[in-house]
Amino acid sequence: MCPSKILSFLKVELSGGGVLLDAQPVDEKRYPLAAVVDRGSSNKNRGSIVHLEYSGSRDGNISDSELQNLFLIGKGIVYDSGGYDLKVGGNMATMHRDKCGAAAVAGFFKILNLLKPANINVRGSLAFVRNSIGENAYVSDEIITSRAGVRVRVTNTDAEGRMVMTDLLCEAKEKVSFGLSNTRFMLVYTRMIVVLKK
């Protein structure tokens, strides 16, 4: 499923509740590492960055320090060929599932929409990008400057998950800098969840 179809699906599934959805193309200035992975894709398969937000109601006189804040970053590689470090020997089969981290985050927001829990704010950022091969695709030994200003040397184009999630994590960290306490970040990959606590 290409990013535009995923976006259409999410708009239907997450409508009519308390979840806000904002989607935009992968912007090279805001998300340079995701953009380098996306640049090998055709126009039909251009990537999208999706932001989801849920703000639960507050029970009674709950203070800001008691409010739970959760940031979820979902890996949504819609298809992973491995890029120029091509997956071989049948290892490319089922790589349409490399978007399951982002799908899990979207599913969590669907549950929030249905249950409407109180005393919690949840933000999600999903990177739906295809790791393709083409004349504009990124290659090993490229050096890209991330959103945080850190230079990243590509050593393997099949490490695209880290590339697309790094700038989203940096952006989430920037949003927390205004002093939210009780904040957790979760990076959701296809087979792994990483939890970071502020």
pLDDT at 120 over 80: yes
Mean pLDDT of 36-52: 93
User: According to the model, what pLDDT value does residue 13 have?
Assistant: 92
Q: Select which of 30, 58, 87, 173 is catalytic.
A: 87
3-state SS, the chain, equals CCHHHHHHHHHHHCCCCCEEEEEEECCCCCCHHHHHHHCCCCHHHCCEEEEEEEECCCCCCCCHHHCEEEEEEEEEEEEECCCCCCCCCCCCCCHHHHHHHHHHHHHHHHHHHHHCCCCEEEEEEEEEEEECCCCCCCCCCCEEECCCCCEEECCCCCCHHHHHHHHHHHHHHHHHCCCCCCEEEEEECCCCEEEEEC
Q: Which of 30, 97, 162, 173 is catalytic?
A: 162
Q: If you average pLDDT over every residue of the chain, what do you get?
A: 87
**Model pTM score:** 0.88
The verdict on whether 87 is a catalytic residue reads: yes
Q: Which domains, and CATH codes, for the chain?
A: 3-197 (3.40.630.10)
Tens digit of pLDDT for each residue in 59-91? Answer: 888 877 788 889 999 999 887 877 788 888 777
Evaluate if residue 141 carries a pLDDT over 90: yes
Q: Is residue 123 annotated as a catalytic residue, yes or no?
A: no
Confidence of residue 192 (pLDDT cuts 50, 70, 90): low
